[in-house]
Amino acid sequence: MARAVSAVAISALAVVAAIAAALLQQRAAATAATACRAAESAVAATILGWPLFESGSPLAIAESLAPVWHVLVTENDPTKAVAAFGDDAARCCAGGADVPGCNSLVHAAFPLIAFMDRLRAAIDVPRRDALRGEAGAASASSLDAAIVDRLRATTKTDGLGSRAARVAVVGGGPSGLTAALVAHREGANVTLIEKRDFHYSRPVWFDLEPGDDGEPTTQAQLRAWGFFELRPPVVPDDAGSPVVTVQCFVLERFLALAAALAGVTMRAGEEFCGVCADDDGLVALAAHGGCTDGGDAPEAPAARRAGEPLLARSCTDADRHGVTVPFDILVGADGPRSRVRDALDLTYAPRARFSAADGSLWRTEAALSQVTLILAFELDAGGRCPALRRDAAGVPLPPHEPSFDEPGVSTVFKRFFEPYCELQLLFEETLGAELLAAYETEYPGGAPRWSWGPGGAPAAALERDRRALPLPLLRRVTATILASPFASDDALLGALRRPVPHGRADASLFRMAISAASAGGRVLSAPAPYGRLSTYAIALLRGDALASAHYRLGLGVNEAFKALPALADLLRVLGGMGGPDALRGSLMVAKTVFGATEAAVKAGADRMVNRQLFAIYFEAVCGFLVFGGDDAQQVYRRRHRDRQLELLPSDALDGLNCTAASTAASRAQRTR
């Protein structure tokens, strides 16, 4: 009996122990889950003031943000950063079992939180605290509701001037992202359409100009947005100027993050296809995964008289299968092959006329262009770019040195920012044309967009390069620049052909011509059904869509920043004229708003085009070197005897009449 009782007691104890263990386990899981939730809340407390996050788990939000910070600050490889962060988040979310995972998540997000506070202040998004009073209650849900209401208020459509302007920005490069941020700051309801996803970028670097005296230059604006507080990997100029250089993807990711946080609706992976008009006004059409129609042609442009607003074509059911974004203002920031520009029926043609900045010279030259070769090198065994040659005092030789020795080479730029090591060569017109012809023979239809794996370049591509690229010249040029030049053409070709992250061709030869749109934008009209008023909208071009930027002078991104105040002014003028509803029925309002600021943007683009043509003319056609800024373009002649550059006085330039033939002659003379 006693044995039976103790057996029952033991099994009861076992049950109690099992229950206790289960309870403990449950409690541990609950503690972990609570800690996980607490960690989530820590992130959420700061983040949830942002409109973007009105829905969705805070953890998911942190998960989506922290990789961006990782990428900006520590990693060059977004895929790696996302994967690393994703593991932590996954562990934490899976029943809250891994608190350290959660902690590391919060830890990873921490600098981001400080940055977001800064950004929030700069971009002026309504903060939770600021709304506390307005909401009249302290509960989280009523505060969230207040934030959402505040945002929805910007999309109200009843009554003249009571709603925010709807701005559709096409293109998520530097011009589009900055335009979206500025339009948002001016109170507009902004949608950005970008055909890439934001994980792709280009192996390109931008030289960011410093801000002087309140001028809205690149560094000043980025500082105001909190960019430098994130300690992004920027490279100071090694010549000691205050310019800093940043990789394209770092800048684009920062701007995309800022835009998303500010509340811009980001439509990544959708391509803008055209514009149409429906009963309520003008609509941008976009499609997931690309347009199928080869582009939208506006209806009967030939029937329109000069100066009349463009009649956008009417939306059909087929159009509506894609994405439609209604707009009052359309910003075409979709680069040199802009579909927005095509939809506006504007042309994009190379320019022929240019002047010196001080007006001392005017020239018209047909088809000015420059041929450029970009070479990406491998890192050495220590993970560094190849070492540069130095003079007797140990100072690295300037990269333009080869232009003293190599006939036909205008100049060379070095972009050595590990893990990228790149030389950019610019050729004078005649040699450039010869090289391009050879390259086009080997790669008919243009160089392919290579994406090679770790094995490197396929043998066939190396063989084509061997035939097309000027190997003896490249060997000499690199020997002038590098301390340990390549021992053989094979070593040189192998080094040139390394795969580039996010990459495409790592050696590419192309012609850079400077083209500009025939106008900076236009007024569009949506014809209304009988008895109702037509609606007008304003379309603007920005960045390379307006005028192409040669990398040579580092102008493109900086000019995009300089154009930002005009967009802010335009939105203010529109607000002053009664808001976007004033565009219903009044062509006069539309034209006034459009004209108020766009002349300044067009003038800026014209200045940029002029500066580039000036440089191309004197470098590619005359064989000189051009340095200097907006107001002083300085032209240098090479003094071969003492290997110095000699500044030419501006009044001497007017008398010069260079031709490609004269460059070829001087080349022949120098070779002798």
Ligand X SMILES: Cc1cc2nc3c(=O)[nH]c(=O)nc-3n(C[C@H](O)[C@H](O)[C@H](O)COP(=O)(O)OP(=O)(O)OC[C@H]3O[C@@H](n4cnc5c(N)ncnc54)[C@H](O)[C@@H]3O)c2cc1C
Q: CB of 647: closest distance to ligand X in angstroms?
A: 24
Binder to ligand X among 118, 196, 504, 591 (CB under 6 A)?
A: 196
Q: Is residue 78 near ligand X by the rule CB under 6 A?
A: no
Q: Which is nearer to ligand X, 272 or 486 (CB)?
A: 272
Q: How far is CA 56 from CA 48, 69, 305, 478, in A?
A: 10, 20, 51, 53
Binder to ligand X among 128, 184, 195, 464 (CB under 6 A)?
A: 195
Q: Which is nearer to ligand X, 51 or 554 (CB)?
A: 554
Binder to ligand X among 204, 474, 539, 590 (CB under 6 A)?
A: 204
Binder to ligand X among 176, 322, 386, 604 (CB under 6 A)?
A: 176
With CA atoms as reference, report the closest residue to 140 among 19, 83, 76, 58.
Answer: 58
- Provide the β-strand partners of residue 390: 396
Q: Is residue 555 near ligand X by the rule CB under 6 A?
A: yes
Q: Which is nearer to ligand X, 177 or 582 (CB)?
A: 177
Q: Is residue 423 near ligand X by the rule CB under 6 A?
A: no
For the record, the structure tokens of 260 come out as: 């998303």
**Residue type at 403 in one-letter notation:** S
Give the total of residues touching ligand X (CB under 6 A).
Answer: 33
Q: Is residue 335 near ligand X by the rule CB under 6 A?
A: yes
Q: Which is nearer to ligand X, 66 or 560 (CB)?
A: 560
Q: CB of 378: closest distance to ligand X in angstroms?
A: 19
**Residue type at 315 in one-letter notation:** C
Q: Which is nearer to ligand X, 175 or 219 (CB)?
A: 175
Binder to ligand X among 69, 205, 617, 636 (CB under 6 A)?
A: 205
Q: Which is nearer to ligand X, 173 or 432 (CB)?
A: 173
Of 200-208, 394-402, 439-447, 486-494, the window that binds ligand X (rule: CB under 6 A) is 200-208
With CA atoms as reference, report the closest residue to 262 among 146, 67, 71, 119.
Answer: 119
Q: How far is CA 335 from CA 345, 367, 512, 545, in A?
A: 16, 21, 14, 4
Binder to ligand X among 67, 96, 101, 172 (CB under 6 A)?
A: 172
Q: Is residue 543 near ligand X by the rule CB under 6 A?
A: yes
- Provide the β-strand partners of residue 538: 329, 523
Cis link prior to 301 (omega < 30° from 0)? no
Q: Is residue 339 near ligand X by the rule CB under 6 A?
A: yes
DSSP per-residue codes, 599-651: HHHHHHHHHHHHHHHHHHIIIIIT--EEEE-SS-EEEEEEETTTTEEEEPPHH
Q: CB of 546: closest distance to ligand X in angstroms?
A: 8
Q: Is residue 407 near ligand X by the rule CB under 6 A?
A: no
Kindly tell me the sign of the dihedral angle through the C-alpha atoms of 428, 429, 434, 436: positive
Q: Is residue 604 near ligand X by the rule CB under 6 A?
A: no
- Provide the β-strand partners of residue 516: 349, 547
Q: CB of 220: closest distance to ligand X in angstroms?
A: 15
Q: Where does 126-199 have alpha helices with state H? A: 128-135, 140-153, 174-185
> Measured between alpha carbons, how far apart are the two ends of the chain, in Å?
120
H/E run at residue 402? helix 402-405
Binder to ligand X among 59, 108, 169, 170 (CB under 6 A)?
A: 170
Q: Which is nearer to ligand X, 271 or 506 (CB)?
A: 271
Contact letters for ligand X, residues 269-288 (x by CB under 6 A) = --xx----------------
With CA atoms as reference, report the closest residue to 373 among 552, 207, 200.
Answer: 552
Binder to ligand X among 175, 370, 480, 535 (CB under 6 A)?
A: 175
Q: CB of 18: closest distance to ligand X in angstroms?
A: 60
Q: Where does 154-204 have alpha helices with state H? A: 174-185
Q: Is residue 558 near ligand X by the rule CB under 6 A?
A: yes
Q: CB of 138: closest distance to ligand X in angstroms?
A: 43
Q: Is residue 554 near ligand X by the rule CB under 6 A?
A: yes
**Residue type at 453 in one-letter notation:** G
Binder to ligand X among 85, 206, 486, 614 (CB under 6 A)?
A: 206
Q: CB of 417: closest distance to ligand X in angstroms?
A: 11
For the record, the structure tokens of 287 come out as: 């499609």
Angle made by CA atoms 503, 112, 265, in degrees to the nearest 5: 70
Q: How far is CA 259 from the centre of its chain?
A: 12
Pairwise CA distance, residues 72 & 78, whole Å: 9
Q: CB of 348: closest distance to ligand X in angstroms?
A: 13
Q: Is residue 551 near ligand X by the rule CB under 6 A?
A: yes
Q: Tell me how long the chain is.
A: 672
Pairwise CA distance, residues 372 & 247, whole Å: 20
Q: Is residue 521 near ligand X by the rule CB under 6 A?
A: no
Q: How far is CA 602 from CA 343, 566, 597, 599, 606, in A?
A: 19, 10, 9, 5, 6
Q: Is residue 375 near ligand X by the rule CB under 6 A?
A: no
Interface positions with ligand X (CB under 6 A):
170-176, 193-196, 204-207, 271-272, 333-335, 339, 374, 543-545, 549, 551, 554-558, 560
